[in-house]
Amino acid sequence: MTLDLTKIRADFPILSRKVNGQPLVYLDNAATSQTPKQVIDVIADYYQRYNANIHRGVHTLSQEATDKFEEARKTVQDHFGIEKTHEIIFTPGTTHSINLVAFGFGSLLKTGDEVIVSALEHHANIVPWQMMCERSGAILRVIPMTDAGTLDMKAYDKLLNDKTKLIFVNHVSNALGTINPIEEIIEKAHAIGAAVLVDGAQACGHIKPNLQKLNVDFYTVSAHKLCGPTGVGILYGKEHWLKKLPPYQGGGEMIDEVTFEKTTYADLPHKFEAGTPNICGGIAFGAALNYMNAVGFEAIGAYEDELLKNATDRLSKIEGLRIYGESERKTAVISFNIDDIHPYDIGTLLDKMGIAVRTGHHCAQPIMDYYKIPGTVRASFAFYNTLEEVDQFVNGVQRATDMLR
């Protein structure tokens, strides 16, 4: 299946705007993807026709909003191959989802238990676990990385033991684009009785995982990484694990009965959905998944691989340019530096040319510390980018380099 780029780009109003007098070339998709009008229309429709609080209203608007919200949960279930809808928790996003699980495990772990994180993680998949270890007395171990930006799986094997209770790792590195061998990580963890949380935020705009086949215990997703709105995502958890974890927040919706003597909690998924959720965001998340599936994930993956190869080949010809993260399996992300030019300076000049990239440590300081650099320039591509935009980007990098040398 070949993508119709003209038709796809017409779906994204923002791609027609200009920045600093130049046509926008948006290459910051790893930070957030753009939103098609099909999703924007769903957001507008919600507020124009059936904006109401959900689950407890008997009036028509509330019932319509509830139906749409729960339809979105079913869409998530179908997309990710999840067995039961109540294993899907709507959250504000991946960071919240990870904190929810880390908070819960803080009450399950004891002093001397071990948990394992990878060296390729976003800070959101490091800091909550450090806080959990401080509360519980558990010990944090780290899977080291290699110069190629991959995980040292022999070291992972050596870290596993009968004290290991939980492993948390990203599906795809946001800083480097590396696709981690999560199937192997999960299988080996389960062999010793440990649970696994996979941060899928960076993966799900490019890869369509089947969570039952993966047999993962927890998986997190943020809607804004796959053409949905910000401020909404999901936590998937196996039913038996979600029942073990205590509620993360207290309030309305997550209760069964409340008295001053004792409160009992609602069943899944409401046990973890305290307060009014992002109703519109959840509905729009479902619409974004429908849009992405209509485009087709196989076609998206194949085309983004073409963009990645083209950009990598061309950037590699620029004198003094080093690409970080050269795994054979990666998504369309390129992190690079040029000689001793600060990445911020390159990013600033590219912005003057209308080209949006990300500069800095990308919330992944341990990776930057490993390479002994302050940060990188990161270009991240999506299925609505074009080969012509790759040309503009590479030419812009060369021009910026010539100006800064």
> Which residues participate in catalysis according to the annotation?
363
Phi, psi values for residue 34, rounded to 5°: -85, 165
316 to 309, 330, 336, 339: CA distances (angstroms): 11, 17, 10, 13
What SS3 string covers 74-121? Answer: HHHHHHHCCCCHHHEEEECCHHHHHHHHHHHHCCCCCCCCEEEEECCC
Q: How many residues does the chain have?
A: 405
CB-based contact 105:245 (threshold 8 Å): yes
Q: Is 373 exposed, middle or buried (0-12, 13-18, 19+ CB in 10 A)?
A: middle
In this structure, the dihedral spanned by the alpha carbons of residues 232, 199, 205 and 77, taken in order and rounded to 10 degrees, is: -70
Angle at 213 (CA atoms; ends 211, 218), nearest 5 degrees: 35
Q: Which residue has the tokens 């650099």?
A: 373
Determine the Cα–Cα distance for residues 283 and 94; give it in Å rounded to an integer. Answer: 17
Amino acid at 3: L
